[in-house]
Structure 1
Amino acid sequence: MRKKLQAKSSVRAQYKDWCVPKRGNANPERQTNDVWSWLVETRVGAYTAHEAAGAGERVYPGWCFARYGQSETVLADGTKIYIGGEHEDHYDPDFYIYNDVVAVRPDASVEIFGYPKDVFPPTDFHSATLVGDKVYIIGGLRYPESRSDHETQIYQLELEGFSIHRVEVNGQAPSWLYDHKAELNESGTKIVCTGGQVTHHQAQRTVENLTTWEFDLETLTWATAGSEVATRWVLVREDESYNELFGIQTVARASRSSRLDKFAERYKAEFAQRGHVVDAELFYSRFQPPIPHSPVAIDRDGDEFKVHRILIDGVIVRYVEDMHEIAVTVEGELSGDTIEVLKRHGLETYSRLEGLPYKCILL
């Protein structure tokens, strides 16, 4: 049996003073304390931390270092710089997006710096690129009210003193870029950003970024360095609400094993209440359009568990399923007739799978 986590006495004594997040009041405000340092060391969730500290009634949200979308930058001396990140999903009482900087030294000592929101907005799923004695923080998902749909923001962390400053840029910046990759080019003059998500203004939604963006560190100017050739669309329910693919998958898998677990039974009953029966064979053939094609193998244990690919006339067609939409990307050129077959097949398939009408949005 795993030994129950117990906070040390200094943490228990200070826990009520530091159990919740606090924005900084200066640029920066040093916020290092025994509670947060212990949480950086243990990386336990807010609930576990509260139990270990024996703090009684919960206060929400709890400060936490078990985060998503947090960047990690390793300095030459081995120091690790962690920036921002979020804990839990938006519906959880412990949900919080941080705007702090945490430095963990090679000797395991911890320094924590906070900032006012108007100096450095809370950020997650940004990139952090080390350039000399500075870290360039690009983009980020952020809270809805802090997002800039028309411009990707850049902030500069000064490692000497840990102050953060907004970078005023030139050129046409990508629109709200997040969850991307950023690398310094070989000459050290540009930060190259690829992948991630950007805002598509005509479709009024975020889409996969297929453009390579370059930020020139000398002129502070954005420029594009090419885009992938692709035809794209998304399949969504007509009411734009979350789809039921997870429940459909659960029922379809259970039907193949001839044994319904409690989750499959629950989903099957919910579908039955609105007169819908899951077609398991249709679910497993949803990436088989009525034209010559071949499947492309994918590592289901990796990051692409939501991705499916088929090959048509030497061109990859990529499907990405999530709870909001099914994004289809044709990674090259196919005939107009073939594109129309793929669109129609997708619409008919997902409409039948859910028993609800779908629509196609071109990107």
Structure 2
Amino acid sequence: MVESGHWADTARRRFVEGEKATEDEEGDDGEDSDEDEGSDSEAAGTITLRDPLMNMLESLEKSGFSASKVFWGNPIWCNARMGETVTKLPDGTLVQIGGEHEDFYDPDFLVYNDVIVFAPTPDGKSCRTGAPNFEIYGYPEEVFPETDFHTATHVPSLNAILILGNASREVEEGEGLQAPLATPIYLLKVGTWGMEKVETAGDGPGIIWNHKAELKDGQDVLRVAGVDGEWEGDRTQRTVVIKEGETRTVGVEFEEAWELDLANMRWTKEASSWVTVPKKKRGGKGAPF
């Protein structure tokens, strides 16, 4: 058990219980330290998380289960995840966004809304394991909610990463809920790491996850399409309104696709290239088909 007042206990309570450290917990000398205290970024709603516990878990790559055995308590922050994205920037920086630890039935299950920026090594290599320099950014839930199984596409013209989709986005059913559902989209500004919610118009995919997204060559147009995974859980799915007030999760065929014009943030759905051809009858008189 970690004793009260220890830096690990302070960091644990900050992250798990949302409790801010008091002045007498900042360090032995009572002075503030950039290494021990999260600070507000110039970008609105962005918080740089520098708790020693979080940095240690990142460096040691502990799972939530092994970390909780050391630090005890509720589900704890860790970087052993699935459903996260890692986007490589032109300078070699790696940007990891969101993801989840374990499945919903596991006691250590958590879905994250953080961003981890891994600087390239001195010789210019990109790496997450053993990265010498990284920053962890957190956001209030109203700025950027818990997100997993999304896509994250670097858009050079916007100097931002466009985050699209979310398997953990919940929809409150009831009167007034109508189609189409808005697709979760956020812009992560490169450099400041500020997060902005994006409003769109048109015929979009709605709440989608396990999909793919890429910029069309030479255009500021994002193409979003389904993925035909080997397993049912790997295939693209989305939440749709089946009638007013009710939703359903449906599969997305891999030939289904939508395009988002980034100049006006308007969706259009691509016409399917697949054509249903009636089966011709074969055989002569008395043939069964």
Structure-1-length-normalised TM-score: 0.55
Counterpart of 2:162 (choices 131, 136, 159) is 136
Matches within 5 A, 1:12-31: 14-19=7-12, 20-21=15-16, 27-31=45-49
Give the equivalent residue in structure 1 for 2:251: 207
Measure the CA separation in 2 of the matches of 1:15 and 1:134: 34
Counterpart of 1:168 (choices 199, 207, 212) is 199
Matches within 5 A, 1:1-363: 14-19=7-12, 20-21=15-16, 27-51=45-69, 54-55=70-71, 58-107=72-121, 108=131, 109-132=133-156, 133-144=159-170, 150-195=181-226, 196-202=236-242, 204-209=248-253, 210-227=255-272, 229=274, 333=277, 335=279
In 2 relative to 1, CA 336–193 (structure 1 residues): closer, same or farther, beyond 3 Å?
farther
Measure the CA separation in 1 of the matches of 2:197 and 2:162: 10
Q: Which runs of 5+ in 2 are unaligned?
A: 1-5, 19-37, 122-130, 227-235, 282-289
Give the equivalent residue in structure 2 for 1:342: none
AA partner of residue 10 (structure 2):
D
Measure the CA separation in 2 of the matches of 1:74 and 1:22: 33
Measure the CA separation in 1 of the matches of 2:279 and 2:16: 54
Measure the CA separation in 2 of the matches of 1:197 and 1:336: 33
In 2 relative to 1, CA 15–96 (structure 1 residues): closer, same or farther, beyond 3 Å?
same
Q: How many residues align?
A: 221
More displaced stretch, 33-42 vs 212-221: 33-42
Secondary structure, aligned partner of 1:226: coil
Secondary structure, aligned partner of 1:156: strand
In 2 relative to 1, CA 334–62 (structure 1 residues): closer, same or farther, beyond 3 Å?
farther
Secondary structure, aligned partner of 2:140: coil
Q: CA RMSD in A?
A: 2.9
**Structure with the larger helix share:** 1
Measure the CA separation in 1 of the matches of 2:172 and 2:65: 27
In 2 relative to 1, CA 156–228 (structure 1 residues): closer, same or farther, beyond 3 Å?
same
Post-superposition Cα deviations, 1:302-330, rounded to whole Å, max 9, x if no partner, equal xxxxxxxxxxxxxxxxxxxxxxxxxxxxx
Q: Which runs of 5+ in 1 are unaligned?
A: 1-12, 231-331, 338-363
Measure the CA separation in 1 of the matches of 2:100 and 2:261: 29
Measure the CA separation in 2 of the matches of 1:17 and 1:143: 31
Measure the CA separation in 2 of the matches of 1:336 and 1:46: 59
The answer on whether the counterparts of 1:200 and 1:207 sit within 8 Å (CA) in structure 2 is no
Measure the CA separation in 2 of the matches of 1:104 and 1:146: 36
Aligned-residue offset at 1:44: 2.3
**Greater C-alpha radius of gyration:** 1
Secondary structure, aligned partner of 1:122: coil
Runs of 4+ in 1 over 3 A off after TM superposition: 19-26, 145-149, 200-203, 332-337
In 2 relative to 1, CA 45–145 (structure 1 residues): closer, same or farther, beyond 3 Å?
farther
Aligned-residue offset at 1:21: 4.4
Aligned-residue offset at 1:211: 1.6
AA partner of residue 117 (structure 1):
E
AA partner of residue 214 (structure 1):
E
Percent identical across equivalent pairs? Answer: 33
Structure-2-length-normalised TM-score: 0.68
Post-superposition Cα deviations, 1:166-217, rounded to whole Å, max 9, x if no partner, equal 1121212212111111111111311111112123443833212442111111
The answer on whether the counterparts of 2:68 and 2:74 sit within 8 Å (CA) in structure 1 is no
In 2 relative to 1, CA 28–44 (structure 1 residues): closer, same or farther, beyond 3 Å?
same
Measure the CA separation in 2 of the matches of 1:222 and 1:29: 32
Measure the CA separation in 1 of the matches of 2:187 and 2:17: 21
Measure the CA separation in 1 of the matches of 2:135 and 2:262: 28
Measure the CA separation in 2 of the matches of 1:79 and 1:91: 34
AA partner of residue 50 (structure 2):
T
Post-superposition Cα deviations, 1:86-122, rounded to whole Å, max 9, x if no partner, equal 1111122211111111101113211011111111111
Measure the CA separation in 1 of the matches of 2:137 and 2:210: 23
